[in-house]
Amino acid sequence: MRIITLALAVLLLLIQYPLWLGKGGWLAVADLESQLDASHAKTEQLIARNAKLDSEVRDLRDGLGAVEERARYELGMIKSNEIFVQVLRKDEKPAVMMTEPPPPPPQKDKKQPQRPLDD
């Protein structure tokens, strides 16, 4: 009777080996699931990066807003008939302007009508 019990216990252990440590065992499945989760996280990051780059490319291709923004902030350019005001802290230096300031508008010579003086 003892031999049969021992033989059944050995057979039970032999059956359990592939379930835990075999090619399709639980440990291998858990490892593959963790790899899959890491892959999904990386894919989500890449999708977000691609969406950002795609929107930037579309904006550069279709609209002038992004080009204007880059010209203003990176190159310090301003439009004609626009006033540039720069507020500096005590330790800051003024930004270097890449564009020439527009010439002042011509003076209009209009004679004002003279009003009679009241005596």
Per-residue pLDDT of the chain (119 residues; tens, 9 = 90+): 889 899 998 888 888 777 777 777 788 888 899 999 999 999 999 999 999 999 888 877 887 777 787 777 777 777 778 877 777 888 887 767 666 666 777 877 666 666 666 65
Residues whose CB is less than 8 angstroms from the CB of residue 18 and which lie 6 or more positions away in sequence, other chains included: 24, 25
Q: Where are the alpha helices (DSSP H) in the chain?
A: 2-21, 26-62, 65-75
Supply the pLDDT for residue 44. Answer: 97
Supply the pLDDT for residue 99. Answer: 63
Supply the pLDDT for residue 40. Answer: 97
Supply the pLDDT for residue 19. Answer: 75
The number of residues in the chain equals 119
